[in-house]
Structure 1
C-alpha cells in the first residue's frame, strides 16, 4: 500500500504571529476523501542547561493553553534572524534565564505532534554556564521565573504535575539516561 495523501485543496483559515491554521482536503491512499486540520509552525529550539553542580536550569511560567503553571526547560520560537536552531537555543537561554554557556551539544530533534502540526523542535545541551553581563530581555508577553533543580527535585516537579510538556519530559529521561550511563561506567 502506498502511504501518501494527495492534497486536493488547501485553505488558510487563520495566520497569527506564531502559527497558521490550514484545512486541507486530501485523497487517501484507498481513494477516499478526507479533511486534515493542520497547524503550521516555524519551528523552535530548547536547551538543557546544566550547572557545574549538575543541576538543571528550568523556567516556571503560566501556560494559558492548559490554564496552569508549567516548569519547563528554556525554549522558544525560531526568529527570522536565527540562522539555525543553535542560535535560537542560545538566544532563548539568555533571554529566559540570563545565562550563556561555554559548551553546546546537539541532542536530538523531533516533530512535537505530527498528527496536527509541523512544529519541529531541536534540543541542545548547554554546560559551562555563566551569567551574561547584559542579558537579552524577555519577550514583552513573557513572564518567567528561573528554577534551579537537582535531579530529584526535577522528578518531584514531574510527579506533582508541574513538569508535563513533551520537551521537558524528554529532558528528564535524557538526564536519567545520562545518570545511568555514568553509574554503569559507560
Structure 2
C-alpha cells in the first residue's frame, strides 16, 4: 500500500527568539490539498532521574510562567551548548540545579512534548551513584527560587498518579525509572542513538 508523502512546499519564519522559533509551513495533504502547519522549533532538552542509595528521586519545585505556578519537576535543561553531548549536558544541569554529580548514567526515554505543533523532544536519563558537586548560587530568573526535595521513587509515582506532577518529561521519567528499578524494563546506554533529537533551531544559531 502506497502512503502519502507529506512534502513541505514552502516555509516562512513568523518569529525567531532566544529559545524557540515559530515558522509556518505549507504542506501537501492527501487528495491534492495544501494545509498550513505552524511549527515551534526548539533546542531540545535533557532531564535526569537522579536516584540516591535510599531509592529517593531528586525533584525540584520551580515556577513555570505559562502555567502561572510552580511545578514539581526533574532537574533538566536545554541543549544550548553547540556540540555538547546530551549526557554531558545532563551532568552539567544536575550540578547547576541541585549540586549533585553521578557515577552511573543510562538512558530511560525520549519524550516528544507536543508533536502536533513543536519538534521539542526531551531525553530523560537515569543517574545512580550520587555525590555532592559544587555549583554557583543562581543569581536570577526562576532558578533562583528552586526548592530541592528528595522523594521515595514510589511516592513520586503516586504524585504522578494523583496529578501532582504534570511535567511531561518528569511523568515519563518517573514511570520509566520505576519500571527499570522494579525489573520490568531495561534502560539503554547513556550514549544510545537519538533519532528524533531536534536540530532545526540549533542550526539557526550556528
TM range (shorter): 0.7 to 0.9
Count the aligned residue pairs.
181
Residue aligning to 1:91: 92
Task: Tell me the C-alpha RMSD between the 2 structures.
Answer: 1.9
SS across alignment from 2:110: strand
**In 1, Cα distance between equivalents of 2:21 and 2:146:** 26
1:149 aligns with 2:142: no
- Point out which structure has higher relative CO (alpha carbons under 8 A, 6+ apart): 2
Alignment of 1:20-169 (within 5 A): 20-81=21-82, 83-132=84-133, 134-138=134-138, 140-141=140-141, 142=143, 143-169=145-171
Q: Once the 2 structures are TM-superposed, how far is the Cα of residue 179 of structure 1 from its aligned partner?
A: 4.3
The structure 2 residue matched to 1:172, chosen from 171, 174, 177, is 174
SS across alignment from 1:94: helix
Over 3 Å counting, the alpha-carbon distance change for 1:180 and 1:127 in structure 2 is closer
Over 3 Å counting, the alpha-carbon distance change for 1:106 and 1:155 in structure 2 is closer
What TM-score, normalized by structure 2, do the two folds share?
A: 0.80
CA shift digits 1:88-127 (9 cap, x unpaired): 1111111110101111112232422211111121111111
Over 3 Å counting, the alpha-carbon distance change for 1:139 and 1:120 in structure 2 is farther
**In 1, Cα distance between equivalents of 2:93 and 2:137:** 10
Over 3 Å counting, the alpha-carbon distance change for 1:137 and 1:119 in structure 2 is farther
Over 3 Å counting, the alpha-carbon distance change for 1:105 and 1:159 in structure 2 is closer
Over 3 Å counting, the alpha-carbon distance change for 1:101 and 1:69 in structure 2 is same
**In 2, Cα distance between equivalents of 1:112 and 1:164:** 12
Task: Give the unaligned 5+ runs of structure 1.
Answer: none
Structure 1 runs (4+) deviating above 3 angstroms are 136-140
Q: Once the 2 structures are TM-superposed, how far is the Cα of residue 139 of structure 1 from its aligned partner?
A: 7.3
**In 2, Cα distance between equivalents of 1:168 and 1:83:** 22
**In 2, Cα distance between equivalents of 1:112 and 1:38:** 13
Residue aligning to 2:8: 7
Task: Give the unaligned 5+ runs of structure 2.
Answer: 185-206
